[in-house]
Amino acid sequence: MRIFNFFTQDIAIDLGTANTLIIQDGKIVVDEPSIIAINRRTGETIAVGTKAMQMHEKTHENIKTIRPLKDGVIADFQAAESMIEGLINMAVKRKKFFTHLKMVICIPSGITEVEKRAVFDSADHVDSKETYLIHEPMAAALGIGLDVEEPIGNMIIDIGGGTTEIAVIALSGIVCDQSIRTAGDEFTADIMNFMKRQHNILIGERTAEQIKIHVGSALSELENPPEEFAVNGRDLMTGIPKQITIGYAEIAHALDKSISKIEDAILKALETTPPELASDIYKTGLYLTGGGALLRGLDKRIAQKTKLPVHIAEDPLRAVVRGTGIALQNSHKFTFLIDRKSV
Ligand SMILES: Nc1ncnc2c1ncn2[C@@H]1O[C@H](COP(=O)(O)OP(=O)(O)OP(=O)(O)O)[C@@H](O)[C@H]1O
Ligand SMILES: [Mg+2]
């Protein structure tokens, strides 16, 4: 127990390609899109999170919006640091010289040593005195409520914005994993391309994201189909704004190839699973998490492909940050946390 609790601040961060979430004292205090708006001339931060997202694709020559993470890893270090700092400041009112900041940050399992060091450097920049990293599938498993220390295999499939991570977890470790850079962002890009090719209409990333959420589907036939969705964009022929309506079957067609890539990765992960753990997974099934788990019909499609039961995690967008929070509370005993010395 810490006597000087007043001077310590423990936070858990899920630094995602699409969303960054922060937990403090068991409560989610930040849940914002991973984006920053900067002044192009001075480099100053203008806004982070939702406010920056409102400016995205609507900027002029003085303002630039940046999504610092791409494919699950930091693509723009400076922007990432400014964004992390902005988001942490949103959560905690720090008294810089007195506070001992301790952080657990979640990272994709396919991350390189150089990329890990970059995350540690970002943490140093915001004055973290004690930093640990945790692999995303492990955090997801904890967040779902699985007992990761048991000698029982569980398969987690985390479909985020940048990466899909498939991992088998047992005895506090990742036994085998597959990480592919096909996830929500790729679905969004598929939708933009489809609209251009099929309907001669140009749409932005945010509109494509809305289409995905309103009429996104992994199957061309759904039991509970969503209503058609009105889409505004620019007609490629006339250059004039135009509106069309889109149904879910069309989007299932647009997403088919990317979903097949995810299915292939799942099959590969199952093939490389040691037989005793495979037998556990046959009984326990597969756990879907991350925002991609919300895509209509995806659970059913994966279940049909693998002939295994598929469970969608409760609140899939927050499972990882909750798990990272659990890791923070158990940082003294969880051996799978990564500290600065080990990279
Ligand atoms: N209802 C929905 N249907 C389909 N996709 C959705 C839905 N809600 C959110 N998403 C998608 O989920 C993705 C974000 O998920 P999540 O927050 O788990 O990603 P992330 O953790 O930021 O990314 P990563 O783990 O790859 O770094 C986005 O691509 C978003 O469009
Ligand atoms: Mg994630």
Q: What is the pLDDT of residues 236-287, one digit of tens each?
A: 999 999 999 999 999 999 999 999 999 999 999 999 999 999 999 999 999 9
Burial of 213 by CB count in 10 Å (0-12 exposed, 13-18 middle, 19+ buried)? middle
CB 63, CB 3: distance < 8 Å = no
Higher pLDDT, 125 or 143: 143
**Domain residue spans in the chain?**
5-139+320-342
Structure tokens at 73: 């890893």
| CATH no. for 5-139+320-342 | 3.30.420.40
Counting ligands in written order, the one closest to the CA of 316 is 1
Q: Which atom of ligand 1 is nearest to the CA of 209?
A: 31
- Whether 214 and 229 have beta carbons less than 8 Å apart is answered as yes
Q: Which residue has the tokens 């984006």?
A: 35
pLDDT at 25 over 70: yes
Radius of gyration in angstroms for the set of CA atoms belonging to the chain, rounded to a whole number:
21
151-186 tens-digit pLDDT: 999 999 999 999 999 999 999 999 999 999 999 999
Nearest CA to ligand 1 atom 4: 295
Phi-psi region of 23 (alpha: psi -120 to 50; beta: other; left: phi over 0): beta
* Cβ atoms within 10 Å of 271's Cβ, excluding its own: 10
Kindly list the protein residues whose Cβ atom lies closer than 6 A to any atom of ligand 1: 16-19, 72, 136, 160-163, 183-185, 209, 212-213, 216, 290-292, 294-295, 317
Task: Give the length of the chain.
Answer: 343
Give the pLDDT mean for 29-45. Answer: 95
Residue 142 or residue 341, greater confidence = 142
Helix axes 205-215, 184-199, angle to 10 degrees: 100
Q: What is the pLDDT of residues 39-86, one digit of tens each?
A: 999 999 999 999 999 999 888 889 999 999 988 788 898 898 899 889
Atom of ligand 1 nearest to the CA of 17: 27
Q: Rounded to the nearest 10 degrees, how much is the dihedral formed by the CA atoms of 235, 241, 245, 250?
A: 30
